[in-house]
Amino acid sequence: MAKRFTKPTINWVEMEKRVPPSQKANFFAFKAKADAYYRRVQASPAEAPKINWEEYSKIVPVPGLVEKFKTAYAAFKVPYPADTLSAKIDEQWKALQPEIQKFCETMQKEIDAVTVDLNKVKALPKFDDMTMEMFAELYPNEALDFTKKPSFWPHNIEEQPGYMTPEQKAMKAAGHH
């Protein structure tokens, strides 16, 4: 008889943590199918039912028929496929471990860098409390500096005096006025 499952070997809680929100519905549908299959397996008996052969030999009038069925029943084995893939999967998993470790290290470095940037942003004063002077001090390249580089509303490049489109620049460079 095949090995009987006593409990599922899948850690559904950990797997659910790794499923992206857009795939949650598919994950729960898969889990429901797996649970239904597991319940069906558990509902079946682990061993084949025992037959009272003496009772049948008293009832069946044909001599030797019950013994023939008894030997055939004892000889019958349910064919279970041999597990030929687990070893290959384990080999692939072992081969992937260095790549996974390298990816995790790379992602941890990125997480650390982003955490540093996030802490800098969190340390800034609230947007409502920040003045233009504070912004200019914190971000000199992004701040408007009206003394060194005056601009007019709406303070975008296209609306400023002297602005030329790329086509106008190309014509001027070619010598056209």
DSSP symbol at 124: S
- pLDDT at position 1 is 45
- pLDDT at position 5 is 60
- pLDDT at position 51 is 86
CA distances for 114 relative to 71, 111, 119, 125, 127, angstroms: 72, 5, 9, 19, 20
Burial letters 108-136, b for 16+ CB under 10 A, else e: eeeeeeeeeeeeeeeeeeeeeeeeeeebe
CA 40 from centroid of its chain's CA atoms: 28
Task: Choose among 33, 50, 53, 49: nearest CA to 41.
Answer: 33
- pLDDT at position 33 is 95
Tokens of 57: 């030999």
d(CA 105, CA 127): 35
- pLDDT at position 39 is 87
- pLDDT at position 17 is 92
- pLDDT at position 3 is 60
- pLDDT at position 75 is 87
- pLDDT at position 137 is 87
d(CA 134, CA 139): 8
d(CA 14, CA 27): 12
CA 160 from centroid of its chain's CA atoms: 49
Q: What is the mean pLDDT of each run of 10 residues along the chain (177 residues)?
A: 63 91 95 90 80 87 89 85 88 95 97 95 87 86 78 81 88 82
Predicted model pTM: 0.41
CA distances for 32 relative to 35, 80, 124, angstroms: 5, 25, 47
Q: Based on the number of CB atoms within 10 Å of its own CB, is 57 exposed (0-12), middle (13-18) or buried (19 or more)? A: middle
CA distances for 14 relative to 18, 81, 90, 109, angstroms: 7, 30, 20, 23
